[in-house]
Amino acid sequence: MIEDKELQAEIGKHLMQPENYGKLEDASCVGVGIDHSTKSYVIMYIKRDDKNILDVMFGTNGTQDTTTLGSIFTGMIKGESVESAQEIAEELNKDLQESYAAIPAPKVDLSKPEGEQVEHISTEHQDSANMVLTAFNAAMRHYERSEGGIEEEQYEMSIVKTCPYSTTECHFVTKASQED
């Protein structure tokens, strides 16, 4: 119970006063995670060397959820070794995939008119976390490409949703015709 209260307090802190928000001018890698279905993105600026994350900042045009999650994640990896930061991201990605998988199938109500038969399933929380983690992975990829001699301003990756119900538009079930 105490852990839940501590977690809620930590989330509330990041919600009210996000940390590491803004542009890092001397970033060594920049990654963008984009959700094309909503046109939302997270851009992550990372200053690193071969072994450590020296500084990290992020920006977004997403929801307050996205800002809060970006603040929490960047706080987790700032000052960590690159290896440790990648392990943190990998663990969070596993949790994210489990969260997508746990979303129940939408309810279908055939008594409603066509186009209103399927309830909307929101994956906003998962998609926000997905954009943050994708931006981190894109930044790491940008660094690798830069080290390999490829010059580019940033590296962009689209998020991949692993839940069949996470699309913005529902696929509606056609009302069965009744035979007389």
- Architecture of the structural domain at 2-158: Alpha-Beta Complex (3.90)
Say what the pLDDT of residue 118 is.
Answer: 67
Q: What pTM was estimated for this model as a whole?
A: 0.80
Say what the pLDDT of residue 167 is.
Answer: 46
Question: Domain-by-domain residue ranges, the chain?
Answer: 2-158
Find all residues with CB under 8 Å of 109, minimum gap 6, and list them. 116, 117, 119
Task: Determine how β-strand 155-158 pairs with β-strand 29-35.
Answer: parallel
Name the residue with tokens 């994956």: 123
Please spell the DSSP secondary structure of 72-100, one letter per residue. Answer: HHHHHHTTSBHHHHHHHHHHHHHHHHHHH
pLDDT tens figures, 57-111: 999 998 889 999 999 999 999 999 999 999 999 999 999 888 888 877 777 777 7
Say what the pLDDT of residue 172 is.
Answer: 33
